[in-house]
Structure 1
Amino acid sequence: MLVNYGWEHWDEAITDYLPELEDATNLSGDTSLTSVDWNKITIGDLASQLSGIGRDFSYGDVATLDIPWTEAGLPPLPSEDIPRCGGNSTTPPCDRDEYFHGLLQRAPVILPRTTPIYSNTAFRILGYILGAISNVPFDQLLDSSVLRPLNLTTTSYVTPTEGAWVIPNGDSAWYQNTGDETPTAGMYSSSSDLAKFGRDILLSKQLSTLETRRWMKPTSHTSSLSFSVGSPWEIFRTKSQISHGRTIDLYTKSGSLGQYDSLLVISPDYGVALSIMTAGSSSSAAIEVVSEMVLQTLIPALENQMLRQECDRLCGTYGSSDQRKNSSLTLSVDTNGLQIEQWINHGVDFLETIQAYSSQSGGPPIQRVLLQATNLESTSDGQCQDDDGSRRVKYHAIFDSSTDEPARPPRIMDQSANHWSSIDTPMYGEIAFDDFILHFDRAGNAVAIEPRVMRDTLLKADREASNSSRFT
């Protein structure tokens, strides 16, 4: 959808493209509790799990299983209420007419845009909508728009006929024909292809960086404090050291069918994508255990490696070329991140000035001043570097007032969450105190820093001497 049309159709009603649903909107009587108001659902609602429609039509209907349900206490069903198709292990896949005939019998779960409700139905319908918009069947559109351009050679819409594949014993679902349900479940892939797909998303291989940033955002929260939903991202929030540290977002997409489970994890914070795939009778339990083990180990390792690399590039003392100014700034790194350890301007300890200003204006004590990179970089001929291979990157200082008090009772309105509202303030002569520009050479090492509020550029001292003992 995004590769071919961007956000052009995002807010359009799905009935614009599905005549089967358009015909079902003119119902007589009060059907609000038993019939979906399809006119109220947009394409974006389907993609972000906010449509309010059911999870499946018949795929999870246990009435299709050869089990004596009446003996288990359920009422007997007339034959017309038992689905004859669905695409699971006991029934063939539904064709389009059968699917919509059955789908229209299902009641809504909740009103659209209320809260995310997982729906396979939404993505099957999206497959039909993409076919209607493009005039190309979904499987062909997938191949021409995604698989071939990204060289995903071990990913396919249909059962592969070549290659080495993992096929567990028993009813694994490997040969299961999912038919038009495949846009939501049933594709084949390898862990290498899945991870490559995640990396290509991070690298904006097919979308613009602006479109990628818009896509990698939550659209709704869930009942969990650490879990939100995007389009169609399942977004987990954790800490960089798991129990403490800075907040890290993991954009994931999970899937399962038969004895197969898969998980794609994309971390914009670290620029890393990984895939975990399991197969077998215990694949569901296995992927839950393995993913937790991998992430518990990987996230702190990535964080500490990133901090070391940042210190190698940035740590040290920067000073004015005119020694009479007596101006310098020292950067160091600890588990909180890159921070300003010392800041002298014309002989004045400016960190003390910041502390005094915060106290005088009724603010809390500043515990540390962190430097955080932005995605603003100097450009030359469309490239993020200057003619000599150097580049300049904008950073913002975070005047962190949070304290490490494990015994502090939890707060509902945690004041440490207010950093986002203090960016770009205070100002002095229309330049914010937190506005910094770092200069990097061709090798990616910092050579100068501009605390822009000081109207000065400080040059880095000898790199080896300057970096010693700056990482803790």
Structure 2
Amino acid sequence: MISSKYKLLAAVVAFAGIQVHAACEPEISFPAPEYNNTTLDHVFKIIDGNLNTAIAAGDFDGTSFSLEISSSRKTMHTKYHFDESLGGSPINESSIYRIASNTKVFTALGIIRLEAAGKLSLDDEVTDYIPKLLDGAGKISWKGITIRSLLSHSSGIPDNCEFLSFLNINLSPGTDFLFGQDGDEDLALLLPDPSVVGLPPLTEPQSKQLPKCGAYTDYKVPCTADDFVNGLHQLTPVFAPQKESSYSNVGFDLLGQVISNVSRIRYEDYITKTIINPLGLHNTSFDVPDSLSAASAGPNSDWGHDAGAGNPGGGLYSSSSDMIKFLRWILSNYKHLSPTLNWLQPAAWNTGSHSLLGYPWEIFRTTDILPNTKRPVTFYTKGGGLTGYYSYSIIIPQYNIVLFMAVAGDLTTLNTIFTQILNPLVIAAEAEAMSQLKDTYAGVYESAKKSLNSSITLTQTDPRALHITSWISNSTDVLASLIPLVAAKAGTSGDMYLQLQPTFEKKHRDGLVGEVWRFINVIDDYDFPTNATTVWNDYCVSNVDPLSYGTVPLNEAVFWRKSTGSNSPVTDVTLSAFRFDLKRK
């Protein structure tokens, strides 16, 4: 027979199963902050100052740009720069750029909407919708290549069909490249003399086999869907399907054909009808806009080149005001577009220890931006470029921020630009989030019953977010009893604390709405190294529901406020497993 004392110890030790080291602080530690008209004005002055310094130093010579920053509600800041040497009209919110691979975000949304409508499954094979891929004797084995694998760049198929390859440039912050800036991947088009890199000249029969459209005609003859599919039979796979990730424009061009075949209208018409027009994106189109509205990139750009069958991978034109509106809509709706998919989730590994791929996001996660904590910050980005045009979409859900930047002309130092914009922006947003967390939730909560000695103190600090600093339950000091046992079992001499994190689940009672949070153990052991190397400090397993008491989660806390709006003050907290409410003093 097991003693009650042993059972209690076992339960407490089991609770240690959700402990995390300080290097594993939960990313979602607070509801995303809201901003008024002036909240971030101080950081926007810093960003403008950084950009003006770069402009004065010549970093933007031969370059025009548009920059817009927004919350989920409204645009908070804009910055435009016009280089007169490029010609054209001065830059404003309506100036139109080629957004290149940012078109893939529209294509992905088109697929997700068809999936949500029950018209297809992400796990269907692409040949279910493009059976012509099975014709011929190509080298790619199409079995196992699913719509999901095309969305996440894990299909193993090549990046480009060469005749569509002016769409090949994929730019994310930190990208370096030598080839592709002029827009064509086939060196037969780029090199007047292939022998300069040791390549033999093409024979006459080999030259005759080259495509008769797209880049091979200087884009005078757009490639059709049939040209595209026939060209795929000449390609060699990079990997077997679902084995590794490798960026692929071809994959998104195929998704465009899937959209067309399922919807039974042209891909361009579907995107226009279901996304561009409903969202009021008046400057966004696959058609070449009037040159007066163009953000000029000079005479040798890809403005006006008809992508043809390559439109789904990078054919759109748009303005910064349209794109920030589109990103704002995504930030507000990404969780609810499909019952089977959270759009802002990783789907495959990318190169680098902090980089992943989504649908079609290029995701970067770092613990090196925030000055007082190792809490990670995740950027969901999409970059794209054509000759003369570069564009960047960035979504930061935990801070309720989206950013769009488009560049025309010369490529500038991207790492420097993003450091000067994103680092101060994130640090300022973190400070605002911490301030709102303190005002809304921190404080002392006590039992309304004088006979019940129960209370909890929730404290906000920058390193620890919202955490428990005092907890009395019916005269028992819960922290004094719980934490030493958990720390001893964990084998750590570090400082342990209980941090709260929101789940975004809701409860309702008596005209009140309850926000469900969970508290987890975090071990602040930076100054207390164990026999393990610090490399393993980033080894983190998420489990926020380890124990219950009478079927109720032991670590659940519910904050109550009036249901009249999210800005109403928190008045009570329920510690669910302890079966009592505490009122905020």
- CA contact 1:402–1:416 (8 Å) conserved in 2: no
Alignment partner of 2:407: what SS? strand
How far apart are 1:277 and its partner, in Å? 1.3
How far apart are 1:151 and its partner, in Å? 1.5
For residue 357 of structure 1, what is the aligned residue in structure 2? 485
Relative to structure 2, which stretch is displaced further, 96-105 or 314-323? 96-105
User: Cα 1:210–1:436, aligned 2, differ >3 Å: closer, same or farther?
Assistant: farther
Give the counterpart of 1:146 among 258, 275, 285: 275
Q: Identity, % of aligned pairs?
A: 28
For residue 158 of structure 2, what is the aligned residue in structure 1? 54
- For 1:360-399, list aligned pairs within 5 A: 361-362=489-490, 364=492, 367-378=496-507, 388=511, 390-399=512-521
- CA contact 1:13–1:43 (8 Å) conserved in 2: yes
Task: Return the letter of the residue paired with 1:11.
Answer: D
Alpha-carbon distance in 2 for matches of 1:163, 1:434 = 60
Alignment partner of 1:296: what SS? helix
Query: Residue 327 in 1 paired to residue 439 in 2?
Result: no
How far apart are 1:213 and its partner, in Å? 5.3
- For 1:204-353, list aligned pairs within 5 A: 204=333, 208=336, 211=339, 214-239=342-367, 241-242=369-370, 244-282=373-411, 285-335=412-462, 336-353=464-481
- CA contact 2:443–2:459 (8 Å) conserved in 1: yes
How far apart are 1:438 and its partner, in Å? 0.6
Q: Normalization by structure 1: what TM-score?
A: 0.86
Task: Return the letter of the residue paired with 2:218.
Answer: T
User: Cα 1:15–1:213, aligned 2, differ >3 Å: closer, same or farther?
Assistant: closer
Query: Residue 454 in 1 paired to residue 578 in 2?
Result: yes
- CA contact 1:228–1:236 (8 Å) conserved in 2: yes
For residue 466 of structure 1, what is the aligned residue in structure 2? none
- CA contact 1:95–1:180 (8 Å) conserved in 2: yes
Alpha-carbon distance in 2 for matches of 1:38, 1:452 = 52
For residue 239 of structure 2, what is the aligned residue in structure 1? 110
Q: Normalization by structure 2: what TM-score?
A: 0.70
Alpha-carbon distance in 1 for matches of 2:527, 2:292 = 55
- CA contact 2:483–2:496 (8 Å) conserved in 1: no
- CA contact 1:15–1:38 (8 Å) conserved in 2: yes
For residue 177 of structure 1, what is the aligned residue in structure 2? 306
Task: Return the letter of the residue paired with 1:70.
Answer: S
User: Cα 1:85–1:61, aligned 2, differ >3 Å: closer, same or farther?
Assistant: farther
- CA contact 2:336–2:342 (8 Å) conserved in 1: no
Give the counterpart of 1:70 among 165, 183, 195: 195
Task: Return the letter of the residue paired with 2:521.
Answer: F
Alignment partner of 1:325: what SS? coil
Alignment partner of 1:299: what SS? helix
User: Cα 1:312–1:89, aligned 2, differ >3 Å: closer, same or farther?
Assistant: farther
- CA contact 2:210–2:216 (8 Å) conserved in 1: no
For residue 439 of structure 1, what is the aligned residue in structure 2? 560
User: Cα 1:162–1:457, aligned 2, differ >3 Å: closer, same or farther?
Assistant: farther
Task: Return the letter of the residue paired with 1:75.
Answer: P
CA RMSD, Structure 1 to Structure 2 (Å) = 2.5
Alpha-carbon distance in 2 for matches of 1:20, 1:107 = 17
Query: Residue 41 in 1 paired to residue 162 in 2?
Result: no
How far apart are 1:401 and its partner, in Å? 1.6
Alpha-carbon distance in 1 for matches of 2:112, 2:460 = 39
Alpha-carbon distance in 2 for matches of 1:213, 1:351 = 39
Q: Which of the pair has the greater relative contact order for Cα pairs under 8 Å at 6+ separation?
A: 2
How far apart are 1:362 and its partner, in Å? 4.9
Task: Return the letter of the residue paired with 1:450.
Answer: T
Alignment partner of 2:154: what SS? coil
User: Cα 1:300–1:308, aligned 2, differ >3 Å: closer, same or farther?
Assistant: same
Alpha-carbon distance in 2 for matches of 1:293, 1:85 = 42
- CA contact 1:115–1:222 (8 Å) conserved in 2: no
How far apart are 1:407 and its partner, in Å? 7.5
- For 1:66-145, list aligned pairs within 5 A: 67-78=192-203, 79-87=207-215, 90-92=218-220, 93-145=222-274
- CA contact 1:64–1:82 (8 Å) conserved in 2: no
Task: Return the letter of the residue paired with 2:582.
Answer: L
- CA contact 1:50–1:112 (8 Å) conserved in 2: yes
- CA contact 2:547–2:554 (8 Å) conserved in 1: yes
Task: Return the letter of the residue paired with 2:540.
Answer: A
- CA contact 2:225–2:257 (8 Å) conserved in 1: no
Alpha-carbon distance in 2 for matches of 1:166, 1:227 = 31
Query: Residue 428 in 1 paired to residue 538 in 2?
Result: no
Q: After superposition, give the CA deviation of every residue in 1:31-68 in whole Å (9 maximum; x if it has no partner).
A: xxx81001231111111101101110112212123511
- CA contact 1:367–1:401 (8 Å) conserved in 2: yes
Q: After superposition, give the CA deviation of every residue in 1:3-28 in whole Å (9 maximum; x if it has no partner).
A: 2332732112212222331213xx4x
Alpha-carbon distance in 2 for matches of 1:2, 1:415 = 33
- CA contact 1:401–1:416 (8 Å) conserved in 2: no
Q: After superposition, give the CA deviation of every residue in 1:91-116 in whole Å (9 maximum; x if it has no partner).
A: 44322333222221111111011111
Alpha-carbon distance in 2 for matches of 1:88, 1:174 = 17
Task: Return the letter of the residue paired with 1:227.
Answer: S
Unaligned runs of 5+ in 1: 28-33, 380-385, 462-472
